[in-house]
Amino acid sequence: MEEKKFDRNSLIGFLLLFVIFGWMMYNTSKQTEQEELEKAKKEKLAQKQKQQEAVAQKITQVAVDSTVSDTAKLQKLKTTLGSFAYSATLPSAKDGFTVLENQLVTLKIANKGGYIAEATLKNYEKFKKGSGDLVSLIKNNNSALNIELKTTDNRLLNTKDLYFEPTVSKEGDKQVLSMKLKAGNNQYLEYKYTLPSNNYMIDFDINSVGLNQVLNTNQPANLSWDLKAFRNEKSVSYENRYAEIYFEHKDGKVDYAGIGKEEDETLEKPTFIAYKQHFFSSILLSKTAIASAQIHSKNLVKDEKVDTVFTKQFSAKMPLAYANGGLNYKMNWYFGPTDYKTLKNYDKNLDKIIPLGWGIFGWINRFIFVPLFALLGGWMSLGLAIIVFTFIIKIAMSPITFKSFLSQAKMKVLRPEMQEINDRVKDPMKRQQETMSLYRKAGVNPMAGCIPALIQLPFMYASFQFFPSAFELRQKSFLWADDLSSFDEIVKLPFNIPLYGNHISLFPILAAIAIFIYMKMTSGDQQMAQPTQEGMPDMTKIMKMMIYISPIMMLIFFNSYGSGLSLYNFMSNLITIGIMLIIKKYFIDSDKIHAQIQENKTKPKTESKFQKKMREMMEQAEAQKAAQQKKK
């Protein structure tokens, strides 16, 4: 009986299983450890928050207790607040508000905490025009501003729990509100709000007076600003896609935090931090760069059918350094529209928070699309402005389109000769040499059709950045679309289709039909332009697939996009079809092109440096191949 041998494959299998099992155990333990750390962190945070709430409740209870004298009240509060107990004994130590208002915004500033408790934009409505519900960037405790104060007697106090004393005055046409957190009659931390008559930008100064013996100035005071962004638009998922934190570095560069479910980032010397909510923004600016900032963004829309109130949770923590024993920061608040013209007028680099694209795409938008569309929008309805805008862009690009079609026509005329080379010459290198020689003799550049298409690509990409960011389209109607910045729903579905949604938009359907017709018309010429080379992919099959894939992608991805962009794409393809028909009918004659090519063949040709280099490389490759064959 033959002795049974140990199978080597079995040994390898057992080893692999052991490695996989070990790896799984390691990752499981690592994950468990991480979960424990996260749990401990959350418990510690919850405990700290509970302690702060208990302190705040105690402060409130003592402050409103009318059964004890001011002296007794002060003594009770001193055990918790130290020198700042004085502020809790003042008549303003109650949950009151001071209102600042101009033609554009209404602000409510709370006595407790001294921060803005409500910021309402008076000229904009939520969800749809005529809703009657004004856009409120701050309300119902969705935002908080707090400074952690470390005192000389080792206390850690939070301004959000303490009472400020309000004083309202006027400086010309400006309303001024001084909120003072007092440690004595001439000892205080001041928030000073200055609201101009017709402006979204508010001056915000933070100053401390006479507190150098009260506060520990050896360590910075930590400022934190939190905002839970309300949904303001019809589509929560579409709005959420454009809700991000933007910031400016000291060198003037504007950037944004990474996009994801939850993002953290550390900033060096920021000069502004913007909580951008697609069409509206809350921005904190500092005239002097802050040393650093920790920013955090969390996506709150996990299920758009359920999560319909908020989009993202934003937070920022910034250390405020003391200078000469005190705090002295000149800042600004902006609560208003994310409108390019409005933000640019402030000359503070705020227009960079609008995602118009980088490099050449941004240049096209800033120097062509934005001014041209603003000009047209001033003369006609915005829906009509999109059509005229598209027509102007396509007419301006028509010479490039003409060159592309002309190149295709030339390649189509040369196809029989190219096919003859393919059939006659079997060696790929020789076939390529003869094909290039044919191009040179005929005066045809095979890249001439590609270059015009590449030139048009930046304009196409720029439009995908421009229209979703165009604030002026918000709640502007055109034909059946009641809001060009949102989807143009014509049918509400009783069910949800994955990737598509629970509604049918008409402009994406029209755009899909237009792109299908355009690709159907051009695919024949592209397939006839050049025969398939051996070893190369069959472009005929690829083009046939793209004829159907492109419209389907248009239908799926644009169904929930802004109808202004879909209208632009529909008109763009429609106008291109018209231009193509005109060029083919009146400007391109295959017989004339053929005659010209034949005439070009008879003329002596001078090689360009590029053509010469290509020919020499091919000849060298051919010589190397011949030498290798001789050795064999």
Question: Which tokens hold the place of 242?
Answer: 């454009």
pLDDT band at 580 (very low <50, low <70, confident <90, very high): confident
Predicted confidence (pLDDT) per residue in 252-311, tens digit: 899 988 666 778 889 999 999 999 999 999 999 999 999 999 999 999 988 877 888 999
Question: Between helices 382-424 and 450-469, what is the axis angle to 10°?
Answer: 150
What type of residue is 18? F
What type of residue is 37? L
pLDDT band at 5 (very low <50, low <70, confident <90, very high): very low
Predicted confidence (pLDDT) per residue in 507-543, tens digit: 999 999 998 988 887 765 544 445 555 545 455 666 6
Please tell me the predicted confidence (pLDDT) of residue 448.
57
519/470 Cα distance (integer angstroms)? 29
Element (H, E) at 618: helix 609-631
pLDDT band at 33 (very low <50, low <70, confident <90, very high): low
566/551 Cα distance (integer angstroms)? 12
End-to-end Cα spacing for the chain: 52
What phi and psi values does residue 503 have, to the nearest 5 degrees?
-150, 165
Question: Between helices 382-424 and 370-377, what is the axis angle to 10°?
Answer: 140
The DSSP symbol for 7 reads P
Which residues does 158 contact at the CB level (< 8 Å), separation at least 6? 52, 56, 146, 147, 148, 149
Average pLDDT over every residue of 66-76: 55
Please tell me the predicted confidence (pLDDT) of residue 100.
96
293/214 Cα distance (integer angstroms)? 26
Which residues does 70 contact at the CB level (< 8 Å), separation at least 6? 89
Predicted confidence (pLDDT) per residue in 148-182, tens digit: 999 998 889 999 999 999 999 999 899 999 999 99
What phi and psi values does residue 305 have, to the nearest 5 degrees?
-80, -20
What type of residue is 383? G
Residue 480 Cα distances to 283, 371, 490, 543, angstroms: 35, 27, 8, 34
277/223 Cα distance (integer angstroms)? 22
Tell me if residue 152 falls in helix, strand or coil.
coil
Average pLDDT, the chain: 82
Predicted confidence (pLDDT) per residue in 212-231, tens digit: 889 999 989 999 999 999 99
Residue bearing the bigger pLDDT, 141 or 439: 141
What b/e sequence results for 209-248 when a residue is b if at least 16 CB atoms lie within 10 Å of its CB, and e otherwise?
bebeebbbbeebbbbbbbbbbbbbbbbbbbbbbbbbbbbb
Please tell me the predicted confidence (pLDDT) of residue 262.
79
Handedness of CA 357, 360, 366, 368 (dihedral sign): negative
pLDDT band at 9 (very low <50, low <70, confident <90, very high): low
Please tell me the predicted confidence (pLDDT) of residue 4.
40
Residue ranges in 449-489 assigned as alpha helix (H) = 450-469
Please tell me the predicted confidence (pLDDT) of residue 436.
72
Is the model's pLDDT at 109 over the cut of 90?
yes
Residues in the chain: 632
Question: Which tokens hold the place of 599?
Answer: 């005439």
380/45 Cα distance (integer angstroms)? 55
